[in-house]
Amino acid sequence: MKQQTGVIDIGSNTIRLVIYENSESRYEEVENIKIPARLREYFDDSQSLNKEGIETIIRALQLFQTVIQQYRVPEVICTATAAIRQAANKKDILQIIKEKTGFIIQLLSDREEAYYGFLGSVHSTYINEGITIDMGGGSTEVTYFRNQELIHYHSFPFGSLSLKLNFVKGCLPTEQEKENIRSFIRSQLTSLSWIADKELPIVALGGSARNIAQIHHNLIDYPLAGIHQYEMSAADVQAVKKSLQPLSYDDLHKVEGLSKDRTDTILPALEVFSVLFEVVSATKLVFSSQGLRDGIIYESLNRPDQKADDSADDGIQELLKELHLPMHAKTQEIKLAVSLFKQVREHAEEVNKRENDLRLLTHGTETFFLGKRINEESSRTAFYLLSNRNIARLSHRDRIQLALIASYKGKSAFRQYVLPFKNWFSKAEQKTLCIMGAVIKLAYKLNVSGKNGVLDIHVSPNKDDWIVYITCKHPCPAEEYHFLKEKKHLEKLLKVNIVPKFKLV
C-alpha cells in the first residue's frame, strides 16, 4: 500500500518541502517546493538569527502546512541544518517555531547532516569509493566512503552564502577576493589528511553543485536530459568559471541553468569545487541530485545498512513495474542470451571482453524492446525511454549502452541511435554492443512461443561455419523458423555462416 511522507529541510539558502510516496521499500518524489530564504543574511553581530529571519522560516512552514493538508500527508519529518545549528539563539528559534506552526524541528548535528547526504547519494550513484561534498549556504559537509560505507566525515562552518558575505563586498567577487576565497578554502581542505591526493571521484550534492552541472550541461549541448550522475572533469569546472568570469551581475541572471537566487554565490562556490579537485587530485566530479532529504527518507524505510550493489537491478524492475510489464519474467531469454554470448565472446576476436558485459546483457534482455512486439516503433520507444530515464547506479554511459542493446533492431537503427554519443564509444565497443543486441534478439526468437522449449545452446565453430546445436525438450518449429530468419544480423557482425541444428533430448 502506498503511503506519503513529507520531509522539510530548513537550510541556509533555501527552505524546501519534498513529499515522497513510498511502497514496498521504494519511494518516489511527488512534490518539491523550494523557498529561497538566505537565512545567513539575518544573523546579527552576536550570531543570533534575528526576528525577520525567524519570521521567514515561519512563513515558509505555514505555506508548507497548506500543501501538506492538500496532499493529506500523514507523516512529516522537519529538519534544520547549519542555519539554526550555528545560531546562538537556536533554542529560542525551535521553541518559537513549535508555538507558531506546531512543527517539532529535528536539529541535525554536523555528523547527521554529513551522514544523510552520504546515504542519499551512495544509494543512487554508481560510485563505490569516493569523496562527497554537500555545500549549503552556511556549512559544507565532506565525507570519504569506501564500499558504500562512511569512513570519515567533517563539517566546515562555511558555505556558498557565508563565503559571499564574509569575503565579497560587492555583488560579485573581484580577482583579489577570489584569491582570498581560494586561500581560505585551501587552508580548510588541506586540514583533512584523509582526502589528500586520493585520486578518487568527487560526488557533489546540493544546489551550488546542481547549478554548476546545469550550466556545463547547457554549455556543451549535452545530448541527454537530466543531470543526476552528470560527470565533469577539472577542465570542465574551469570551463564554467571561464564562461562566467566576464559576465556582469545582470548578465549572470540570464545564464541558462543558473538559478536567480544563486547569482551572487555561484562564483565563490566554483572556487570551492576547483580547490577540492586540486586537493583530492580527483578523477572526476559526479553530481547527485539525491542527498540529505533522500538519506532521511531512505533511513525511514528502515534499510540504511543495505548496500546498493543491486540498485541497478532494482531500478530496472522499478521501470518494468511502472510500465506495467511483467517483472522477473524473462528467465528463459536471459539464460539463452547469456549462454550464447559467453560462447560468442569465447570464439570471436571482435568481441571486447569487458568486466560488466554479462550484467549489461542481462539488463538488456529484461528490457529488450520493453516487452513489446519487435518493430521500428517499439525500438525507438525502448531507446528513448531507457536513454532518458534515471536508473539508480547506472552511469550515463552505461545507460546509453543499455538503451542501444535493448532497442537493437539492426545496424542501421543502431547507427542512428548512437550518432549523438558516437564519441562515447570506440568502434570496437560499438561493434560489441551490436553483437550483444543481436544475441538478445536471437535469444527472444528461441523462445518466441513462450513455452521454454530450448534447454541448451552449444556453439561449435569449424573452418567455414559456426554450427549451433540447439537442444529442445519438445519440437520447436516456431523457434527454428524465426532463428533461421534472424540469424543474419549476428552473421554479418561476426562474418561467419551460422548453421543451426535443432535436436530433441
- How many percent of the chain have pLDDT more than 90? 83
Identify the CA nearest to 183 among candidates 301, 315, 275, 316. Answer: 275
Tell me the per-residue pLDDT of 60-96, one tens digit each, with 9 for 90 and over. Answer: 999 999 999 999 999 999 999 999 999 999 999 999 9
The predicted model scores a pTM of: 0.89
- Per DSSP, the residues of 470-498 read EEESS--HHHHHHHHHHTHHHHHHHT-EE
DSSP state, residue 380 = H
Task: Specify the amino acid at residue 170.
Answer: G
What is the rounded distance in angstroms from the CA atom of residue 64 to the CA atom of residue 58? 10
Residue 314 has pLDDT above 80, yes or no: no
Identify the CA nearest to 145 among candidates 121, 168, 180. Answer: 121
> What residues form DSSP beta bridges with 388?
none
What is the rounded distance in angstroms from the CA atom of residue 121 to the CA atom of residue 287? 9
Q: Which domains does the chain have, with CATH numbers?
A: 3-108 (3.30.420.40), 111-291 (3.30.420.150), 311-504 (1.10.3210.10)
Tell me the per-residue pLDDT of 339-364, one tens digit each, with 9 for 90 and over. Answer: 999 999 999 987 888 888 999 999 99
Of the candidate ranges 18-32, 38-52, 341-355, the one whose mean pLDDT is the lowest: 18-32
Tell me the per-residue pLDDT of 450-504, one tens digit each, with 9 for 90 and over. Answer: 999 999 999 999 877 999 999 999 999 999 999 999 999 999 999 999 999 999 9
pLDDT at 28: 85
DSSP state, residue 412 = H
Question: What is the rounded average pLDDT of the residues 204-214?
Answer: 97
| Residues sharing a CB contact under 8 Å with residue 20, sequence separation 6 or more, in sequence order | 4, 5, 6, 7, 27, 28, 29, 30, 297
Residue 371 has pLDDT above 80, yes or no: no
The answer to whether the CB of 117 falls within 8 A of the CB of 143 is yes
Beta strands in 348-476 (DSSP E): 454-461, 465-472
Rg of the chain in Å (alpha carbons): 27
Residue 25 has pLDDT above 70, yes or no: no
Confidence of residue 265 (pLDDT cuts 50, 70, 90): very high
Confidence of residue 311 (pLDDT cuts 50, 70, 90): low
pLDDT at 157: 94
> What residues form DSSP beta bridges with 144?
131, 152
DSSP state, residue 128 = S
Find where cell 539575518 sits.
42
Tell me the per-residue pLDDT of 379-432, one tens digit each, with 9 for 90 and over. Answer: 998 999 899 988 878 899 999 999 999 999 999 999 999 999 999 999 999 999
pLDDT at 359: 92
CB-neighbour burial class of residue 491 (10 A; exposed 0-12, middle 13-18, buried 19+): middle
pLDDT at 312: 66
pLDDT at 412: 93
